[in-house]
Amino acid sequence: MLVAITLFAMCIVTGFSMFYMFISSLWRLLFSNACQISTSHVNPCFSL
């Protein structure tokens, strides 16, 4: 039973890390595109 719980937890952690990496790479892609497109005085690159 403990082995099954451990494997389940490892699957959840791996899934979350893969999901986080996917979201962060997608966010970086969108963010860099917004920086290139933006020509206004308020540049999204410097909003963070």
- Which pLDDT value is given to residue 16? 93
Specify the number of domains making up the chain: 1
Q: What angle do CA 28, 46, 48 make, to 5 degrees?
A: 65
Q: Is residue 44 part of a domain?
A: no
- Could you tell me the two tokens for 38? 């933006």
Residue 47 phi, psi (nearest 5): -75, -25
The alpha helices in the chain, defined as continuous H runs, are 2-37
Residue 45 counted as domain residue: no
Q: Is residue 35 part of a domain?
A: no
Confidence class for position 12, pLDDT limits 50, 70, 90: very high
Give me the pLDDT at residue 48, please.
46
Residue 43 clears pLDDT 70, i.e. is over it: no
47 located within any domain: no
Q: Are 24 and 32 in contact (CB under 8 A)?
A: no
